[in-house]
Amino acid sequence: MVRAARRRWWQNPEMVTLAVAAVLLVAGLVVEWTIHSEPVALALFWGAILIGGVYPLRSAIRAVRHKRLTITVLLVVAAIGAIALGVIEEAAALVVIFSLVEAMEAYATDKARGSISALMELTPPTANRLNDDGATKTVAVEELHPGDVVMVRPGERLPTDGIVVDGASWVDASPVTGESVPVEATAGTEVFGGSLNGNGVLRVKVTKEYYDTVLARVIGQVEEAQANRSGAERFADKFSAIYTPAMFALAIVVALVMPLLGFEWREAIYRALVILVVSCSCALVISVPVSVVTAIARGARDGILIKGGIYLERLADIKAVAFDKTGTLTRGRPTLAQVTPLDGISEDEALTLAAAVETGSEHPIATAIVAGARDRGLTIPAVQDARALPGAGMEATLDGRTLHIGRPTDEDRTDGTAGPALAHAEAEGCTAVVLRDDTRPLAVVAVADQLRPDAESTLTELRDLGVERVLMLTGDNATVARSTAQALGLDDYRAELLPEDKSAAIRELREKHGVIAMVGDGVNDAPALANADLAIAMGAASTDVALETADVALMADELDRLPAAIRLSRRARNNIKINIVLSLTVVAVLIVAALAGWMSLTTGLLLNEGSAALIILNGLRMLRPGRGETRRARTSVSV
């Protein structure tokens, strides 16, 4: 991705031209009102028309060549008509004021897009790459390749995505993920380009090309989002395509009919020109895009990537939400849940023995047991002859005694002490293993995939927002699924589903409940995501495929961003409705006033473009967070 240089207004020829035209118009008015020199004033007005009209005239000519009637064409016709009638002052005002509002619209769009594109500026242009001899060399970030190691000093921003190979610090990744709390970064931690390094030196191994970093892909996706137009945007386009020619026809009718009714032809043409000016539908044309662009920008700031206006619109209409379980409603990794000692040994002793046997295993259950023992401060003794038994667990020798830990056997389930403990653990949705020696079971150790801490509050918020059905679709076993569903108070759940079963369930639910969203990890839930009305991926910063397959990605991997996204979409919809109603009301009133001859060209233009300015400002309000759109205030980081 190429870095775009940001230009100041004085580096933009069109803005400079407009500024000169505006100065000439103001100077002409001052001369006319103070020293009353009509020739000088006319010269200044002509200068404003000739200089300020260059770009509108070019745009109008292009539109006519493509057989399109645009607002700019109406403006140019009105200005030419005003000149023909000899009202040069009003012609100059038409050109300059219209161009000013066009520039304001461009500024609004650029500001919204700039709030996203500015993210790329967070990535430093150069990086300190480590050579084989340990020396550093400053290179452009575009020259970094996977496998390179870069050094990031305290207070610097990470130049690209990678994995920490040495050092310890905290990293503020809020520009990428929207996560407001800095995270600890040590060896093995994945980090992202654009993140701010804290108070330690980090050595980071590059894992992606510069153009493929998470930050670069986020910006690319948001820029492409404009191609996915919402129904409201398409309505505005279609309305404008009919409305603009209709207003042009109305002006022609007025110019031709009024003289037949006894009006002077000059008055008839003037009123027709006023109709052209006040009917310019720029307010309506921009009423939808300015709100959509700013809402998408607002979401991207807060770690909610919405990939187009059509998906922004669907968020507001969600009637049901189906969640995957593992990694979505739960953390996706097991943790120690229960230790039930048997045959007289203590709980700590049982956990110590279990952890000792499992130390050599990389299985997630083994990792959870070892981590649980360490969290309790237990000393894990060394074992001898540790070996994995495929499909049956781990075995090792400790102090001359052979210990085994693994999946329950039929004998364990019928045992008078181990059986009830196993039944209790599994009834609570845990996965249980049995620790035993050569003669008897010693303990039942259970692990569970813990619920996300924000899962319950998120579901409550969704119901408060009017979501009618919240359910879970999972491939996990029925016992675990039932336990999770009961703990969260879900409306329904379906367990032991294959990917194609999830897709079928989504289709069925859509017929029953209307617009349905599927929330998953964007990989193994891909078929269900594809069949949902809205595909929402968790943790886009950690799964490459999520950005490609989802309609909405919760970048910070936090569920509570989902209600925030819905609030944002509904706020955008309300913003669009206000804009459309305001623009249509103003145009209707102004056309009636123009037909009645109650206003001049300049007055009509000021009122019409004033409404456009209000609409732009109302749209830009979307860049400010609304109630509930950010769960907590961003943590400011000073270095």
The pairing of beta strand 304-306 with beta strand 492-494: unpaired
Q: Where are the beta strands (DSSP E) in 101-257?
A: 126-130, 136-140, 149-152, 162-166, 169-172, 183-185, 190-191, 196-197, 202-206
Q: How far is the C-alpha of 520 from the C-alpha of 329, rounded, in Å?
A: 9
Element (H, E) at 387: strand 384-389
Contact in structure between 331 and 452 (CB atoms under 8 Å): yes
In 10 A of CB 181, how many CB atoms? 12
Active site residue: 324, 449, 525, 557, which one?
324
Q: Name residues whose C-beta falls within 8 Å of residue 422's C-beta, 6 or more positions apart in sequence.
A: 408, 412, 413, 432, 434, 444
CA atoms within 13 A on the CB side of 288: 22
Q: Are strands 552-554 and 534-538 parallel, antiparallel or unpaired?
A: parallel
CB count in 10 Å sphere of residue 347: 13
Q: Which two tokens stand for residue 301?
A: 């700031």
The answer to whether residues 116 and 194 touch, using CB atoms and an 8 Å cutoff, is no
Q: How many CB atoms lie within 10 A of CB 133?
A: 5
User: Which residues 6+ apart lie within 8 Å of 45 measured at CB?
Assistant: 24, 25, 28, 88, 89, 91, 92
| Residue 324 falls in the annotated catalytic set | yes
The strand pairing partners of 406, in sequence order, are: 434
d(CA 376, CA 573) in angstroms, rounded, equals 51
Q: Any idea which residues carry the catalytic annotation? A: 324
